[in-house]
Amino acid sequence: MNPNNISDIKNLSELQSNGSDIVYKSTKINLENNSYESSIHKLSKNKWTDLKKSTNWNFSIPKYSKNNKLISFVKTPKSSEILDSLEKKKNSSKTYLVVKNGNSEKVIFDTEDSIVNYVWSENSKFVYVITKEWSDEFKKIENKTDQPTVINKLPFRFDTTGVIYNKRFHIYKINISSLKIEKIVDGDKESLLSISSLIEVGSDLYFIGSQHNENGTMLEEHIIKLVKSKLVKINSGGMFNQIFSLKDKLYAVGLRKRFDWPTNTTILKVSENGKLSFLEHAFDRNVVSVKIHNNEIFCLYEDSGKTLLRNVSQKETIIEEDITIKDFNFIGEDLYVIANSFSHPDEIFKLVNGRLKKLSTTNDDFNNNVRTFDCEYHRIDTGQSDIDTWGIFVGKNKPTLLNIHGGPASQYGYTFFDEFQTYASAGFNVIACNPRGSTGRGHDFLRDVCGRKWGVNDVHDVLTSFKKMLKLMGIENKNYGIMGGSYGGFMTSWVIGHYPKMFKSAIVERALLNWETMVGTSDIGIGFPEMYLLDDMNNNLNLYRKKSPITYANNIITPTLIIHSEKDYRCPVEQAEQLFSNLKRRGVDTTMIRFPDESHELSRSGKPNHRIQRFESIIDWHKKQLT
C-alpha cells in the first residue's frame, strides 16, 4: 500500500434497519477535489442499490422512521462547494434534512448551520434536529469581520472547532406533514456548547448537553430533560457518550463522575432523580456503543485489540473473532455488522451459524489490487504484566518501526490501520503493542499509568515487548525507528530522552511534551492532567516537570522529525516548538513539519493531500535514517 492508496479505501458507518432492509453510509476520498465524499447504500432482499450517490453533495445520517415507512437523510454541500457559495452568496451553502417516501423526496428542514444529528418521534409524525453553528472558517468568509475575541471562561476553544464562544447548539422540532418548525431548545439562551444523544422516552425528550460551570473554569456535562420548554438537569458531574431507553427507563453509557477517568465507560441506570447505578450485567471492559433489540441490550466493547459484540442482557458475547466491529443492526433475528480486520477494510457481514459471512464487496477492488499484510500476534510477559503485541514481518534484514498509540486510553489490534500497511509496504517491519494504560484489558490495567507510574509502567511494557517481539519475529537488522502521535508522541520523546542510543530514527507527532504549558493551552488542559498525574500543578509543579519529556530533551541525540498541525488545540503547536528549538540549538538532526488548517485529527480526517504528504514525510525520514 502506498500513500495514495488511501483514496481506494471506502469506510462504512451508520448502519440502520427498518426490519426488512438495511442502509448505511460509505465515505471515500476524492484526490482530484482533495475532499471526502459520502453516499448512502441499501441492502434489500439480497440486492444492493445506491440510495443516494455523492455528486456535488454528501449524504449522511440515514434513518428510518419509527413506523419503518419513511427514510430520512442529511444532504450537505461539499466543503469546496460551501466556500464557493459563501463567496458568491448562493443558497447552496445550506444543509438539508430530506425525507424519502418511495421515489418521492421532500425537504423538511434546511439550515446554514450544520446538522449534528436528529431523531424520529415514536409516532413518526415529528423529527427532532440538533444543529450547530458553522465553524469560523466559513463565518469569516461570510461576515468579513476582523474583531477581537473576548475571553472570560475556560475552556474557550475545542480541537476541530476553534473558539467556542460564538458557537451554540440548538434543537428544532419539525412536523413532517405541515413542515411547521419550532425551536424547542435555544442554545444561545441556555449557553449550550454541545448537545448529543437526543432521545424520546414516552412523551419526554432527554439529551446530553454541556455548559460552563458557574466559575467559568471548566465544562460540565449534564443529562437534561425538556419539561414544558424548560431544561431540567437530571444528572450533572458525569461523563457520557450516549443515553438510551428500555421499557421507558433511562440508561447512559459513560462514567458516574467526570474525574473517575481514566476508567472503562460502562452502562449505567439513570433513576428519576438522576442517580446513576451500575447494571447487574456490568463487565470490566470499555463499552463503545449500545443498541436495543427485542427489549435486550446489545453493546460493542473493546477487548484485547478487538471490538466485539455482546448481548448484555444475556451476559453473552455474540461475536468473538479477530476483528473490529464498527456498527451492527438486525433484520428480524438476523444480525448484520460493519467490520474490518487487520488486512481487510470495512465490509458488511451477516452472522450465520455463529460465524460472520461477508456479504458486501465494498473494498474487494482495494484488496485485489493492493498488497496488504497480515499480522503476527503474541501476548508477551514483560515481567510486570502480559502485553498484547502485534507485528508485521517483511524481512529479517529490514529495519523495524516501533509504533506507539495515542490516548493512552485506546488500543491497537485487529483493525485495518492504513499506517501499518503503508510502513510495511515501504519495507519496514512493524511492531506495536497495548501497554498498561490502554483500553481492552480492564479497569486496573487502564489506570496502571496514573500518578508516579506515568512514563514508568507504560515505557517498561513498550520496550520489553518490543525487544521480545524482535526475537520472536527473527529480526536481525538492528536499525530501529520509533514513532507515535499525541500520547504516542509523548512516549516517543520520553524514550529517546531516556534511552538515547536505542533508536536511530524518531518521529514525534502532535505530542504532549510539557505538562506545565499544556495545562494553560490545551482544550483539555483543565482536568486531563489531574486525572492522569493525580495531582494539581499548583500543588506539585515538580511532578509535572518530572513527567514532561521536555525536561529530558537535552539527552536526545536521535535524529527526530517533528510533525504538528497549526490548529491542533489538543496538544497545541507550542509543544512541538519547544522540542524543535531545543534539538536544533544543540545540533541534533531535526526537522519540523507544520500542516496549515489542520487539527489534532490530521492523520485520521485531515485534508487528503496533507495525509499523503504526512505519509511521504514519515517514510522519507525513516528511509534516510535507517536504510
Residue with cell 493551552: 521
pLDDT digits (tens, 9 = 90+) for 480-510: 999 999 999 999 999 999 999 999 999 999 9
Residue 191 has pLDDT above 70, yes or no: yes
Q: What is the torsional sign of CA 301, 306, 309, 314?
A: negative
Q: What span, in angstroms and rounded, lies between the C-alpha atoms of 379 and 387?
A: 5
Q: In this predicted structure, what is the pLDDT of residue 270?
A: 96
**Which pLDDT belongs to residue 282?**
82
At residue 90 the predicted structure's pLDDT band, cuts being 50, 70 and 90, is very low
Structural fold of domain 10-271: Methylamine Dehydrogenase; Chain H (2.130.10)
Lowest mean pLDDT among 24-28, 141-145, 466-470: 141-145
Query: Each residue of 105-164: pLDDT tens digit?
Result: 999 999 989 999 999 999 999 999 999 986 555 555 555 567 788 899 999 999 998 888
Q: What is the value of pTM for the model shown?
A: 0.95
Residue 375 pLDDT > 50, yes or no?
yes
Beta bridge partner(s), residue 591? 561
Q: Which run of H or E residues covers position 517?
A: helix 515-521
**The pLDDT of residue 83:** 47
- Does the pLDDT of residue 91 top 80, yes or no? no
pLDDT at 148: 83
At residue 78 the predicted structure's pLDDT band, cuts being 50, 70 and 90, is confident
Mean pLDDT score, 335-351: 98
The mean pLDDT value for 592-605 works out to 97
As a whole number, mean pLDDT of residues 509-514 equals 98
Mean pLDDT (the chain, rounded): 94
For residue 365, the surrounding DSSP H or E stretch is helix 364-369
Residue pair 437/448 in contact (Cβ under 8 Å)? The answer is yes
pLDDT confidence tier of residue 88, bands split at 50, 70 and 90: very low
Question: Positive or negative, the Cα torsion across 447, 451, 452, 458?
Answer: positive
Mean local confidence (pLDDT), 231-236: 95
Q: What pLDDT is stored for residue 55 in this prediction?
A: 81
- 373-626 falls under which CATH superfamily? Alpha/Beta hydrolase fold, catalytic domain (3.40.50.1820)
Half-sphere exposure of 250 (CA within 13 A, CB side): 26
Contact 57, 46 (CB under 8 A): no
Residue 60 near residue 13 (C-beta atoms within 8 A): no
Please determine, for residue 33, whether its predicted confidence score (pLDDT) is greater than 90.
yes
Of the pLDDT bands very low, low, confident and very high (cuts 50, 70, 90), residue 195 is very high
pLDDT of residue 46: 83
Out of 97-111, 143-157, 321-335, 407-421, pick the least confident. 143-157
- Model confidence at 202, pLDDT cuts 50, 70, 90, reads confident
pLDDT of residue 87 exceeding 70: no
In the chain, the percentage of residues whose pLDDT exceeds 90 is: 88
State the average pLDDT over residues 546-572.
Answer: 99
One-letter amino acid at 189 equals K
Q: What is the pLDDT of residues 36-53, one digit of tens each?
A: 999 999 999 888 999 999
Cβ atoms of 512 and 524 closer than 8 Å: no
The continuous run of DSSP H or E covering 221 comes out as strand 219-227
pLDDT for 19 equals 92
Domain boundaries, the chain: 10-271, 280-368, 373-626
Q: For position 96, what pLDDT does the model report?
A: 96
| The pLDDT value given to residue 86 | 46
List of E strands, 65-167: 71-77, 95-101, 104-111, 114-120, 126-132, 157-158, 162-163
Place of cell 525507528: 481
Beta bridge partners of 596: none
The predicted model gives 509-526 an average pLDDT of 97
- C-alpha cell of 374? 497480515
